[in-house]
Amino acid sequence: MRIERENPARTDELVGAVESSDAVAVDEVVARARAAQAQWVAVPVDKRAALLREASARVREHLEEIATLTARETGKVLADSRGEAGFAATVLGFYADRGEALLTPGGYDDVRGRMSVRHRPYGVVAAITPWNAPLILTTLKLAPALVSGNAVVVKPSPFAPFGIGRLLELVGRDLPAGLVQVVHGGAETATALVSHPGVDRVAFTGGESAGRAIASLAGRALTPSVLELGGNDAALLLDDAALDDAALERLVMAAFATSGQVCMAIKRLYVHRSRLDEVVAGLESAAARVLRTGDPLHDGVSMGPVVSGDSAARVTGLVEEARAAGAEVRELGTVDPATDLSRGYFVRPTLVLGAGDASRIVAEEQFGPTLPVLAFDEVDEAVARANAGDLGLGGSVWSADEDRAFAVAARLDAGFAFVNTHNRTGMALHAPFGGVKRSGWGREYGDDGLWEYVQPCVVHAPAAFRAGGAGLAANAYPGS
Ligand code: NAD
């Protein structure tokens, strides 16, 4: 079946089309991946790392081409897409270095006996990825998996198959044929891949409903999985938050970059009541300076459309539902005069004031350009409200007192929490990233992100049974 993808900023323009892969095609791809992996695992880790570094350089050489494709298919502004492509190249280099540093076999040969610990790759990794940061979210799986000796089959989102397709071609170019492959399609293709008996590890990033489907398929096949799911991140602005222009602009972009369609965007803003009016006015002025909606390829635009008509309808529906329940809605930012917003899936960014904690716009991941702003009186109350709900991806605390902010941030139910920033400006490639509660399991980034793709395997010759050793009764526990 042919899947077409339109440009979400100009829906009459086709970015391209891909053929979806059925179960037979998936079967062939997995067989090729298994054959390639058998060769690849025999390549020493320093050589694998060197090939990844070369791949990273090739991605940088083609950065503009990859970024433009990504901007046209996702609706992310070109500067963002360039940043993402550059970060993906950095991820490839980072895991080349970490792989070389960590994957040398360990062990000992001394009075305790002899032990070796080596890190065995799983084999074939299936990477199922979303559309919103396709380059980064794929390379965070690809790079650690490859450096540790796995083959990878990627199933990108049908909303964004082209930029990542080009990146994967460049990465795979000098690697054994079949080591890096792509299958296209939606849930059916993902299902065929994840349940395939030739797949040894599943790495998924996406929303809750697809996550549940993937986890149960992987569970039935007894294939271990890493799941990076959605978030409903709260930012807490304490009574002493230092909110200069730069901080307010950071807040705006942490909520509205990529039209709010970022797993770790600020999705709920809790403000100490004493600062509420000042913060709302400050966010409006900051948005007037930095938030311009329009075509992602136009200069000066900082926010594009949302990804689809369904997405636009869902976000608009949430805002209207809140308005009908008595909330006040304020439109933010400016519009690029050279963009005809009616040609694409554009949703004007809004602040929603006075929504209840139980309203869907607060309680659910809205994944769009709207931000509920809520007042709180006590820090304990703000923490409890931030921690309500099933999701626990990120969070942030804003205060002029770093120690105070740190202490409050540590109380958030979150895999990571930032101080005085949020979203991409807080990321650190060396720190583990992932969610608690229903935001997923397993980690990406850092050394933890590499350990997800290997299993330690031990060979042990206890000293007790060496010639002249002390021996041990036939069924005894050592050291008991
Ligand atoms: P999605 O869950 O709709 O799709 C993700 C992938 O799963 C795609 O490849 C899609 O084709 C596939 N898929 C969809 N339904 C499926 C099903 N029933 N069975 C098998 N596969 C299926 O997500 P999306 O709209 O592409 O991305 C948005 C979501 O991803 C948000 O919830 C966001 O928070 C989350 N996300 C999380 C992280 C993170 O690191 N935690 C990062 C980015 C995005």
What per-residue confidence (pLDDT) applies to 245?
98
- Per-residue pLDDT of 234-260, as tens digits, reads 999 999 999 999 999 999 999 999 999
**Dihedral sign, Cα of residue 300, residue 306, residue 309, residue 313:** negative
Check whether 419 has a pLDDT greater than 90: yes
470 lies in a domain? Answer: no
Q: Domain check: are 25 and 150 in the same one?
A: yes
DSSP states of 109-164:
EETTEEEEEEEEE-SEEEEE--SSSHHHHHHHHHHHHHHTT-EEEEE--TTS-HHH
Three-class SS string for 180-229? EEECCCCHHHHHHHHCCCCCCEEEEECCHHHHHHHHHHHHHHCCCEEEEC
Residue 107 lies in a domain: yes
DSSP 49-66: HHHHHHHHHHHHHTHHHH
Q: Looking at the structure, do residues 203 and 339 belong to the same domain, yes or no?
A: no
Q: What is the pLDDT of residue 260?
A: 98
Mutate to test the pocket of ligand 1, among 193, 229, 258, 438 (most ligand atoms within 8 A of CB): 229
Instruction: Please give the share of the chain, as a percent, with pLDDT higher than 70.
Output: 100
Ligand 1 centroid from CA 132, angstroms:
9
300 C-alpha to ligand 1 centroid (Å): 29
Per-residue pLDDT, 421: 98
What is the position in ligand 1's atom list of the atom closest to the CA of 156?
A: 9
Same domain? For 411 and 273 the reply is yes
Q: Could you identify the atom of ligand 1 that is nearest to the CA of residue 263?
A: 34
Looking at the structure, tell me whether residues 180 and 94 fall in a common domain.
Answer: yes
Whether residue 60 is predicted with pLDDT greater than 90 in this model: the reply is yes
Give the C-alpha separation, 38 to 55, whole Å.
21
Identify which of 3, 73, 91, 131 to mutate to test ligand 1's pocket (most ligand atoms within 8 A of the CB): 131
Query: pLDDT confidence of 479, banded at 50, 70, 90?
Result: confident
Question: Both 207 and 265 in a single domain?
Answer: no
> How long a stretch of residues is the chain?
480
Backbone phi and psi for residue 421, each to the nearest 5 degrees, phi listed first = -160, 180
Nearest alpha carbon to residue 187 among 430, 20, 306, 432? 20
* Ligand 1 centroid, distance to 171 Cα (angstroms): 23
Of the pLDDT bands very low, low, confident and very high (cuts 50, 70, 90), residue 138 is: very high
* Residue 105, pLDDT score: 87
What average pLDDT does the chain have? 97
The catalytic site residues sit at: 228, 263
The CATH number of residue 373's host domain is: 3.40.309.10
Q: Indicate which residue's Cα is closest to atom 8 of ligand 1.
A: 157
Nearest residue (CA) to ligand 1, atom 24: 130
Count CB-CB contacts under 10 A for residue 10.
Answer: 18
Distance set, CA 140 to CA 26, 74, 87, 429, 434 (Å): 22, 19, 10, 10, 12
Q: Is pLDDT above 90 for 332? A: yes
307 pLDDT more than 90: yes
pLDDT tens column, 75-116: 999 999 999 999 999 999 999 999 999 998 899 999 999 999
The confidence score (pLDDT) of residue 118 equals: 96
> Which protein residues touch ligand 1 with a CB less than 6 Å away?
128-133, 137, 155, 157-158, 186-187, 190-191, 205-207, 210, 213-214, 228-231, 263, 365, 367, 393, 435, 440
**Ligand 1 centroid from CA 210, angstroms:** 6
Task: For ligand 1, atom 40, name the residue with the nearest CA.
Answer: 228
pLDDT digits (tens, 9 = 90+) for 453-472: 999 999 999 999 999 999 99
What spacing in Å lies between the alpha carbon of 180 and ligand 1's midpoint? 21
Residues 187, 264, single domain; the answer is no
Q: Reduce the DSSP state of residue 232 to 3 states and report it.
A: coil
The answer to whether position 113 is within a domain reads yes
Q: How many A from CA of 118 to the centre of ligand 1? A: 33
Q: Are residues 132 and 87 in the same domain?
A: yes
- 184: CA distance to ligand 1 center in Å? 14
Mean pLDDT within 315-331: 98
Q: Cα-Cα-Cα-Cα dihedral of 36, 38, 40, 44, to 10°?
A: -170
8 A C-beta contact, residue 345 and residue 311: yes
In whole angstroms, give the CA distance from residue 204 to residue 249.
32
Using the 3D structure, point to which of 426, 450, 467 is the last residue of a domain.
Answer: 426
Contacts within 8 Å (CB) and 24+ apart, 465-470: 465/113, 466/113
Confidence of residue 480 (pLDDT cuts 50, 70, 90): confident
Is 183 a member of any domain?
Answer: yes
Question: Is the domain of 447 the same as that of 384?
Answer: no
202 and 251 in a single domain? The answer is no
Average pLDDT over residues 431-448: 98
In this prediction, what percent of the chain has a pLDDT beyond 90? 99
Query: Tell me: the pLDDT tens digits for 23-37?
Result: 999 999 999 999 999
Residues 214 and 242 in one domain: no
Are 235 and 269 contacting, i.e. CB atoms less than 8 angstroms apart?
A: yes
Best of 157, 308, 437 for a ligand 1 pocket test (most atoms within 8 Å of beta carbon)? 157
Structural domains of the chain, count: 2
Residues 200 and 304 grouped into a single domain: no
Q: Is residue 433 part of a domain?
A: no
* Segments forming the whole domain that contains residue 114: 2-229+439-458
CA 217/CA 191 separation, integer angstroms: 7
Asked if residue 110 is part of any domain, the answer here is: yes
Supply the CATH number for residue 67's domain: 3.40.605.10
**Are 316 and 368 in the same domain?**
yes
Among 74, 128, 261, the mutation site with the greatest number of ligand 1 atoms within 8 A of its Cβ is: 128
Measured CA to CA, the distance from residue 469 to residue 480 in angstroms comes to 18
Residue 387 reports pLDDT greater than 90? yes
Residue 480 in any domain: the answer is no
C-beta separation of 389 from 219 below 8 A: no
Q: Name which residue sits closest to atom 22 of ligand 1, judged by CA.
A: 187
**Calpha distance 194→200 (Å, rounded):** 9
Q: What is the number of the ligand 1 atom nearest to the C-alpha of 158?
A: 11
